[in-house]
Amino acid sequence: MSAILHPSPPLDLAFVDEAIAQEGRSPESLIPILQRLQNHYRYLPNEALRRVCALTGLTPAHVAGTASFYARFRRTPTGRHHVRVCHGTACHVAGAQHIMDSLRRDLHLPPGSDLTPDAEFSIEEVACLGCCSLAPVLMVDGRVAGRLNAASATLAITQPAHHP
């Protein structure tokens, strides 16, 4: 993992204009617009939300409130690999917090951040992933890894080819 931080390129806001042109400017269009932005940017950048307000006339409180209300919308950037660690009941009982703590330590996540300094990995706690018999479970880039311990959880995301 490189420790060098690369400055983020300026956000291309043309996609926001496109999304609004497709979905419309009414309050009912807001969730479909946010979904398009989330799919495109992989989170909801503040600059994009400000552009939504400017083009739709919706208030910042309304847009920010909607963006924060739904768990599927992320307000912080994701890494190139996004890791979802299940904290549903079965996984919680099987040691999900221990998995989370060891991943944070092994990936050198700064306190309070869910993104590694090189933006390679982001980590998110999620509700049941629907494969409780494999608890504890995580999902990385859409692939499930289960029956984890601290060591195998790190391997599952850093060396996926070696993890079943």
Q: What is the token pair recorded at 54? A: 């400017």
Pairing of strands 121-126, 81-86: parallel
Smallest distance from ligand FES to CB 132, Å? 3
Applying CB under 6 A, what is the total number of residues that bind ligand FES? 12
Per CB under 6 A, 83 contacts ligand FES: no
Q: What is the strand order of the sheet 138-140 is part of?
A: 121-126, 81-86, 138-140, 143-145
* Widest pairwise Cα distance in the chain: 51
45 contacts ligand FES (rule: CB under 6 A): no
The stretch near ligand FES (CB under 6 A) out of 6-14, 85-93, 100-108, 115-123 is: 85-93
For position 137 contacting ligand FES by CB under 6 A, the verdict is yes
Q: Are strands 138-140 and 143-145 parallel, antiparallel or unpaired?
A: antiparallel
Site membership for ligand FES, residue 132 (CB under 6 A): yes
Burial grade of 5 (CB within 10 A; 0-12, 13-18, 19 or more): exposed
Among 53, 55, 64, 128, binds ligand FES (CB under 6 A): 128
* Shortest separation between residue 91's beta carbon and ligand FES, angstroms: 3
Region of 122 on the Ramachandran plot (φ > 0 left; ψ -120 to 50 alpha; else beta): beta
Among all chains, which residue has been given the structure tokens 């996540």? 109
Q: Smaller CB distance to ligand FES: residue 44 or 86?
A: 86
Q: Is 91 among the residues that bind ligand FES (CB under 6 A)?
A: yes
**CB 143 → ligand FES: shortest distance, Å?**
14
List contacts with ligand FES (CB under 6 A). Answer: 86, 88-91, 128-132, 135, 137
